[in-house]
Amino acid sequence: MTEQVHLPEWAANYLQYIRVPFKEASLAYLTEICTAHHNRIPFENISTLLRYHEYHQQGRLEQDEKRFVDQLMQLNAGGTCYMINSSLHQLLNQLGFPTRYTLLGEGHVGLLVRNPDGQEEVYVDCGNAAPFFEPVRLETYPDQVSQYAGIEVRLRPGDEPGTYTYYRYVDGQLLTDLVWSFDTRKT
């Protein structure tokens, strides 16, 4: 098992902020990270609005995990799907989880994380105001429902292998503007 001292400072601070100790990569550890992440880091857009002028000068958001962790520590601010999930992507890779991006619909970014045993890729989304407190096991548990406080998200297989559709319900009602398709074969 790798010692935490080998983690970059930003990664060690990230773990400290979400109050999760360094451990060997496993599905149980990934679940612990997801749960802690949702409990400690808000999905919000105020931090993005604070960078409005910078964004328009560059024409895009620049992902910077060090800056993200500094923002956590100094402002207790999280971010939108892109900022949160891209920083989580970097952290998970540092912790030994092979991770890649997936684009849902026209503009939501989620993560596909390879289970350390190599047998399964799971969906992780901490940059969402939805209840993804644990990885979604797309391949081995396709009927899994992520739910909390009247919100349900279901990721259902599409017609082609590796394709899925994201369905979000609030109090049992489907939000048709939040039905997104995605293809795990593309990143």
Prediction pTM value: 0.88
Task: Output the pLDDT for position 102.
Answer: 95
pLDDT in tens, the chain (187 residues): 444 458 999 999 999 999 999 999 999 999 999 999 999 998 877 776 666 666 667 665 566 788 889 888 888 888 888 889 999 999 999 999 999 999 999 889 999 999 888 889 999 999 987 789 999 999 898 889 999 999 999 999 999 999 999 999 999 999 998 899 999 998 7
The architecture in CATH of the region 4-183 reads 2-Layer Sandwich (3.30)
Distance CA 111, CA 61 (A): 18
| pLDDT for position 2 | 46
Domains of the chain, by residue range, sit at 4-183
Query: Residue 22 CA to chain centroid, in angstroms?
Result: 18
Q: What beta strand segments (E) does the chain contain?
A: 99-104, 108-114, 121-124, 145-148, 151-157, 163-170, 173-174, 180-183
Q: State whether the Cα torsion 137-158-147-85 is positive or negative.
A: positive
Q: Distance of alpha carbon 2 from its chain centroid, rounded? A: 23
Q: What tokens were used for 16? A: 């400290």
